[in-house]
Amino acid sequence: MSLDVRAAAAALVVLALVLARSRSHARSRGLVVGVGLVLLGIALAVEGAPDWLIRVDPVSQPRLIACGVGLMAVFAVLPRRFSSAENVVGLVFLALAHIGLVVAPEGPPVMTAWALSCVLTALALPKGPARRLAIPYLTLAAGAGVAGLVLGGTAGQALVVLAVGVRLGVFPFHSWVVGAHEFAPMALAVGVTAPMGAIGLVARSPLGFDGEIAVLAIGGLAVAALITAGLAVVQTGLSRAVGFLTVSIATVVFLGVLDADSIGHLGGLMMWSLTSLSLLGMGLVAAALQSRIGDVDLRDYRGLLHRTPTFAALFLLFSMAAVGAPGTADFASEDLVLHGGIGHHPVLLLLFIAAISAQAYGALHLFFRVFFGPPEAGFVPDALRRERTVLLAIAAVLVIAGLAPQLLLDGWLPNTDAVTSLVP
């Protein structure tokens, strides 16, 4: 890993520590920052570790950094009312679930990591409706994933895709993820979906778009993304709308990672990391708003722009970045995905582009509903200094990587050959 990326990661760690010091709940905060540091440490220091012990490669390294920095960012922004011990432990569980999966060596360790990640995700959700709703889905995901890994072959691969789809909340398995957004604190829900950790199971073994079954599966994913983007538009509450939009975007990322074409797969991996960041930013803004005024009712235009202009600008940037607007990092990764294997299938291509177009409409619709309209009555504080600092840092990464994606390709993913060589 190049020195400049190490320096950037170190700077982010220092920033997170400084921000964390300005918060109360010192013990829980320290725990989260500690875990974040450990993850970063793994990413930066264990580069040459043997594969049978831990897999730190161009697939897992960016995820470790994103997860470490993301965890610290979440906690620096996390509203005080969501900083209970239960939520903090939940966030740490989610990080461990994600990380275990991407660094676990092939064979039994990855099966164990998958099953464990399902259990940890269920435990991370607060007791009550969110967990009750999630358990059947996570059980299905765990069973299908382990069975798929044991079976191998085409049937096994199909089961693995099913398992990852259930974990990501791909339609029609979306209810638990949307429910997590609805019933759990938004910050925790962001932890469930934004990192899209489940993709780790297929990141090194893409499906490819050859063969009728694969094409059908990919087409199904594109249609699922389209449907969930449509569902985001008809929602009457911010948390469910964010949930649906997140699920739709995660579905598109999943589709990109499945591409066996080296360019498309690299785009999918880039999208996986960068979309995590933009969804994290979008979710954190939603969480900050939720902590101030509860779930935002979208039956009317809420007019929050007047009270919270900073949140408005950042929400627009993050939501547009998540759907691949020009000038943001996801535009570059989307470009790579489009020029991968999917471009050889006109119908799939059309469905994929229709899905990302529908997501862009859904994102702008959400922004207009929340921030435009007659000014919100009553006092709603805008972004605090710590919130603004962290969100701006994420925004800066997204914009810089969008304008100059080569920096990312040269620095963050230093060995693109190593990534593309992962594709069989």
Partner 1 sequence: MNPDTLLGLLGLIALFMPVAASLALGLPWVLGAQLSEATIRRTVGTSFGASFLACLAIDVLLLLDPGAAHSVTLAHWMALPSYAVDARVVFDLPAAVLMTLTALLCGLIGAFSASYLHQDPGFRRFFVLLPLFASGMMAVACGETLDLIYAGWEVVGIASALLIAYFQYREAPVRHGLRAFAVYRVCDVALLTAAVLLHHHAGEASLDAATAGHLGDNEALWVALLLVIAIMGKAAAFPFTGWLPRAMEGPTPSSAIFYGALSVHAAPFLLIRAWPLLEDQLVARGALAAIALLTAAHATMVGRVQTDVKSMLAYASVTQVAVILVEVSLGFTTLALVHMTGHAILRTWQLLRAPSLLHDHHELVSRLGGGRPPRGTLWERLLPVPVQRFGYRVAMERWFVDDLAASALLGKLWSAFTLLDRIDRAWVALLSGKSSEEAA
Which residues ranging from 267 to 296 are in contact with partner 1 (CB under 8 A)?
A: 295
User: What is the nearest approach in angstroms of partner 1 to the Cβ of residue 194?
Assistant: 21
CB of 135 to partner 1, least distance (A): 9
Q: Report if residue 306 touches partner 1, rule: CB under 8 A.
A: yes
| CB of 17 or CB of 409, closer to partner 1 | 409
Secondary structure class of 134 (helix, strand, coil): helix
What per-residue string of b and e applies to 35-62 under the rule 16 or more CB within 10 Å gives b? bbbebbebbbebeeeeeeeebbbbbbbb
Among 339, 381, 418, 421, binds partner 1 (CB under 8 A): 339
Q: Does 401 bind partner 1 (CB under 8 A)?
A: no
DSSP 175-221: HHHHHHHHHS-HHHHHHHHTT-GGGGGTTTS---S-SHHHHHHHHHH
Q: Closest distance between partner 1 and the C-beta of residue 160, in Å?
A: 24
What the block records as the tokens of 189 is 């829900």
Is there binding between residue 179 and partner 1 (CB under 8 A)? yes
231 binds partner 1 (CB under 8 A): yes
Could you say whether residue 371 binds partner 1 (CB under 8 A)?
yes
Count of residues that interact with partner 1, criterion CB under 8 A = 74
Q: Which of 225, 242, 325, 398 binds partner 1 (CB under 8 A)?
A: 325
Give yes or no for residue 332 binding partner 1 (CB under 8 A). Answer: yes
Residue closer to partner 1 by CB (options 210, 417) is 417
Looking at the Cβ atoms of 78 and 336, the one nearer to partner 1 is: 336
Decide if 282 contacts 276 (C-beta within 8 A): no
| CB contact set of 119 (below 8 Å; sequence gap of 6+) | 138, 142
C-beta of 86 vs 335, nearer to partner 1:
335
Smallest separation (angstroms) from partner 1 to the CB of 319? 11
Residue 266 touching partner 1 (CB under 8 A): yes
At residue 102's C-alpha, the angle toward residues 315 and 258, to 5°, is: 75
**DSSP string computed for 145-176:** HHHHHHH-HHHHHHHHHHHHHHHHT-TTS-HH
- The amino acid occupying position 397 is V
Q: Taking CB under 8 A as the rule, does residue 381 contact partner 1?
A: no
Asked if 9 touches partner 1 (CB under 8 A), the answer is no
Query: Residue 347 interacts with partner 1 (CB under 8 A)?
Result: no
Q: Is 139 in the site for partner 1 (CB under 8 A)?
A: no
Question: Rounded CA gap, 50 and 239, in Å?
Answer: 42
Residue 405 as a binder of partner 1 (CB under 8 A): the answer is yes
- Is 108 an interacting residue with respect to partner 1 (CB under 8 A)? no
- Do 323 and 398 touch, CB atoms closer than 8 A? no
Among 30, 303, 411, 414, binds partner 1 (CB under 8 A): 303
Give least dist CB 105 to partner 1, A. 28
* Phi, psi (rounded to 5 degrees) for 306: -60, -40
Residue 361, interface with partner 1 (CB under 8 A)? yes
Q: Under the criterion CB under 8 A, does residue 417 sit at the interface with partner 1?
A: yes
Regarding 326 and contact with partner 1 (CB under 8 A), the answer is: yes
Closest CA to 358 of 256, 233, 247: 233
Collapse the DSSP code of 325 into the 3-class scheme (helix H, G, I; strand E, B; otherwise coil) and give the result: coil
Phi, psi of 220 (to 5 degrees): -60, -40
In the complex, minimum distance from the CB of residue 138 to partner 1, in angstroms, rounded to a whole number? 12
Nearer to partner 1, 46 or 135 (CB): 135
Rounded-to-integer distance, Cα 55 and Cα 71, Å: 21
By the rule CB under 8 A, 75 interacts with partner 1: no
